Amino acid sequence: GYGMIGGRLIKVCGLRAADNVRAVAALPGVDLVGFIFHPASPRCVTAVPDVSLPDGVRRVGVFVDVPAEQIAATARRYGLH
């Protein structure tokens, strides 16, 4: 879970499918699950899968050249940290 044990924070990014999000989030040591919101990326999502995450695992997003207001709105919508 989220805690930077030993100064390390583990983020797994580029997730798209709900079953993958659940499987990755359940792995020992994973702190963050990431979603890419850059349309040029083959791993871009238009919506974050609605899955429960284990305690201490947080959602984050990757954005490229997007206005801060759009990032904030997306973060609120999907519970990104």
Would you kindly state where each structural domain of the chain is located, as residue ranges? 5-78
More confidently predicted of 56 and 3: 56
pLDDT 10s digits, 35-49: 999 999 999 999 999
Q: What CA–CA distance (Å, rounded) separates 35 from 22?
A: 13
Amino acid at 68: A
More confidently predicted of 6 and 54: 54
More confidently predicted of 25 and 2: 25
Of 60, 80, 56, the closest CA to residue 4 belongs to 56
User: How many beta carbons lie within 10 A of that of residue 77, not counting itself?
Assistant: 10
